Amino acid sequence: MGALHNGHISLIKLAQQYADIIICSIFVNPTQFTDPKDLEKYPRPIEHDLAMLQSAGCTGVLMPTVEEMYPAEENDQWHIDLGKAEFLLEGEFRKGHYQGVTQIVKKLFDAVEPDVAMFGQKDFQQVLMIGNMVKYFDLPIQIVTCPIIREDDGLAMSSRNIHLSADDRKHSLVLSKSLQFVMDHFNEYSILELEAKAKDFYKNIEGVELDYFTIANGHTLEPAASKEEENLVVLVAAKVGSTRLIDNVILK
């Protein structure tokens, strides 16, 4: 969606290991926004983005307009079955978000016809939902998940970080610190204890409001039933000042 940072550039760099021709899309997709203010204030520094892509060795940029992606004459009633996980976590807090995401990603895939598509683990649930969309249409596209790139102090890079005030920026570290706590103490406590102790990190921080903090099954996103489960991921979303941030770590 543009406002590029080194997290995005890492996707381009990883793509170079898979393909000779790399196309980056920059499109702030209205149908995936549930909060109109979030859409309105989404940063759009286009010249800066193009310079970053050029120096990263990106071959081409797809930068359509809203009218090109959603022509008035097209009566596209997009709704596909993405499974139960669509309605959990981000899907609960941003209703309809993954219908909007999969709708635009299908359009972008149709335009580019890629062999491989790179997505960041930072949007863990998004990668799952796009994987489900690819299965739904049986698309011949390999989906690659790229690791989360962080600032030196641990904050996951995000275009929305630009909205953080100096105080928010300090407070934002609670996300990566609480995730790190779970990683460091995984063997010591039960799942419920880990979640409770991690949630305590969010108490009494001015301007920080936790949406969810969960240790979940990495396929279903349902709360983990036991530490012995094979795929476990810790996912968090919190509002820091007026900016909503997400982060996660894969435990196994």
Ligand X SMILES: Nc1ncnc2c1ncn2[C@@H]1O[C@H](COP(=O)(O)OP(=O)(O)OP(=O)(O)O)[C@@H](O)[C@H]1O
Ligand Y SMILES: CC(C)(CO)[C@@H](O)C(=O)[O-]
Residues involved in catalysis:
8
Place of tokens 């899309």: 25
* 49 close to 26: Cβ distance less than 8 angstroms: yes
- Applying CB under 6 A, what is the total number of residues that bind ligand BAL? 3
Applying CB under 6 A, among 24, 89, 148, 164 the residue interacting with ligand X is: 148
Choose the contact partner of 109 out of ligand Y, ligand BAL, ligand X, none; CB within 5 to 8 A by kind: none
User: Does 172 contact ligand BAL by CB under 6 A?
Assistant: no
User: Does 10 contact ligand BAL by CB under 6 A?
Assistant: no
DSSP β-bridge partners for residue 235:
214, 248
Beta strands in 34-179 (DSSP E): 60-62, 116-120, 142-146
Q: What's the distance, CA 124 to chain centroid?
A: 6
Q: How far is CA 78 from CA 101, 195, 220, in A?
A: 11, 36, 23
Query: What are the tokens at 214?
Result: 């969960």
Q: How far apart are CA 60 and CA 50, in angstroms?
A: 10
Applying CB under 6 A, among 85, 117, 129, 149 the residue interacting with ligand X is: 149
Q: What is the distance between the terminal CA atoms of the chain, rounded to a whole angstrom?
A: 29
- Residue closest to ligand BAL, measured at CB: 123
User: Does 94 contact ligand X by CB under 6 A?
Assistant: no
Residues in 74-113 that interact with ligand Y by CB under 6 A: 101, 104-105
Applying CB under 6 A, among 99, 103, 125, 126 the residue interacting with ligand BAL is: 126
Q: Contact positions toward ligand BAL, by CB under 6 A?
A: 32, 123, 126
Q: Contact positions toward ligand X, by CB under 6 A?
A: 1, 7-8, 10-11, 119-120, 122-123, 146, 148-149, 156-160
